[in-house]
């Protein structure tokens, strides 16, 4: 209902219609050549994150009890991911983003192994590790998208995001299947072993790319902006007030929003 209501101002505006950028023709093969770490990273992140969202509540129920402890463990993980977005993103603005992706993968896989293999953790320790794990693991997708956009032409941002989201979706299909087989054989804690395996594989790929491909220059970078896996958007609209003349010099020329 909120989405439908948000369309009303757009429908009644008399503002100038913004020009739609000419779509680029960027395919999966082009993106693989442009930013292979981003493409591989989104697939493996989809695999890891989907396994986490599917089976982490079962892990928490098995380790610390059902009911409120499960909710608090998941909330701690999500809160960690939310809090870490800005500092990790700012750090990636100042250096090669692949190093930050590598650091996030190593940290996340280490914390995942701690959750999976530690012989006995208190409830508080489990919450703390969940918070740190979410901070590292849930930031990787946004870093991969930012890295791809550093290398892409600005007109191709929509294509880049669409392809990366598609690849993330493929990983999200595979992740629960792999984790389900592992859990059936080794128990609920193996969900973090599956995630650690995916993140170690991404870390190895990033290391290999660091030796093969130069990073984006500082001039090519834009400011980091958090991008969740699923999002909706629309063109910027001006002139919602019918008394305002969009051709007025005080308003200035109408340009498409590039944020």
Whichever domain contains 137, its CATH number is: 1.20.1250.20
Does the pLDDT value for residue 257 go beyond 60?
no
CA distance 242 to 55: 52
Give mean pLDDT, residues 231-236: 41
In the prediction, which pLDDT does 235 show? Answer: 41
Give mean pLDDT, residues 252-256: 47
Residue 235 inside a domain? The answer is no
- pLDDT tens for 78-121 read 999 999 999 999 999 988 899 999 999 999 999 999 998 887 88
Sign for the pseudo-dihedral over CA of 47, 50, 52, 58: negative
- pLDDT tens for 151-172 read 887 777 788 888 899 999 999 9
Residue 247 inside a domain? The answer is no
Overall number of domains in the chain: 1
In the prediction, which pLDDT does 63 show? Answer: 87
CA distance 27 to 30: 5
CA distance 155 to 168: 22
Buried b (16+ CB within 10 A) or exposed e, 79-93: ebbeebbeebbebbb
| Of residues 45, 50, 51, 72, the one with CA closest to residue 61 | 72
Tell me the pLDDT band of 134, cut-offs 50, 70 and 90. Answer: very high
| Of residues 47, 110, 52, the one with CA closest to residue 81 | 52
Q: Reduced to 3 DSSP states, what percent helix, strand and coil does the chain have, rounded to the nearest 5?
A: 70, 0, 30
Report helix angle 97-117 to 68-93, nearest 10. 160
CA distance 256 to 167: 28
CA distance 238 to 212: 45
Residues 111, 129 contacting (CB under 8 angstroms):
yes
Residue 156 inside a domain? The answer is yes
Question: For tokens 């009911």, what's the residue?
Answer: 67
**Does the global pTM surpass 0.85?**
no
Residue 153 inside a domain? The answer is yes
Report long-range pairs for 210-213 (Cβ below 8 Å, ≥24 apart): 210/96, 210/98, 210/99, 210/102, 213/36
Residue 20 inside a domain? The answer is no
Tell me the pLDDT band of 215, cut-offs 50, 70 and 90. Answer: low
Residue 47 inside a domain? The answer is yes
Stronger pLDDT, 226 or 236, i.e. the higher one: 226
Tell me the pLDDT band of 248, cut-offs 50, 70 and 90. Answer: very low
Phi, psi of 144 (to 5 degrees): -65, -40
Question: For tokens 């918070």, what's the residue?
Answer: 131
Structural domain including 55 reads 27-220
Stronger pLDDT, 17 or 244, i.e. the higher one: 17
Residue 105 inside a domain? The answer is yes
Residue 108 inside a domain? The answer is yes
Give mean pLDDT, residues 224-250: 46
């Amino acid at each position: 209902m909120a989405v439908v209501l948000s369309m009303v101002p757009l429908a009644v505006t008399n503002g100038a219609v913004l020009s739609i950028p000419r779509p680029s023709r960027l395919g999966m093969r082009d993106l693989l050549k442009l930013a292979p770490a981003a493409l591989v990273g989104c697939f493996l992140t989809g695999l890891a994150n989907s396994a986490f969202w599917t089976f982490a509540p079962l892990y928490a129920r098995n380790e610390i009890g059902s009911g409120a402890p499960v909710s608090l463990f998941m909330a701690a993980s999500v809160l960690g991911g939310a809090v870490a977005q800005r500092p990790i993103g700012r750090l990636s603005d100042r250096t090669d983003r692949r190093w930050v992706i590598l650091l996030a993968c190593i940290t996340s896989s280490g914390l995942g192994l701690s959750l999976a293999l530690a012989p006995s953790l208190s409830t508080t320790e489990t919450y703390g590790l969940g918070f740190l794990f979410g901070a590292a693991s849930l930031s990787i997708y946004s870093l991969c998208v930012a890295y791809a956009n550093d290398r892409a032409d600005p007109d191709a941002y929509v294509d880049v995001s669409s392809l990366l989201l598609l690849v993330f979706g493929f990983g999200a299909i595979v992740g629960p299947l792999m984790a389900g087989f592992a859990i059936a054989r080794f128990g609920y804690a193996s969900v973090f072993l599956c995630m650690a395996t995916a993140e170690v594989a991404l870390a190895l790929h990033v290391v290999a790319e660091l030796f093969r491909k130069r990073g984006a220059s500082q001039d090519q970078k834009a400011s980091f902006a958090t991008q969740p896996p699923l999002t909706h958007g629309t063109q910027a609209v001006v002139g919602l007030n019918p008394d305002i003349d969009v051709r007025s010099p005080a308003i200035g020329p109408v340009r498409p929003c590039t944020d």
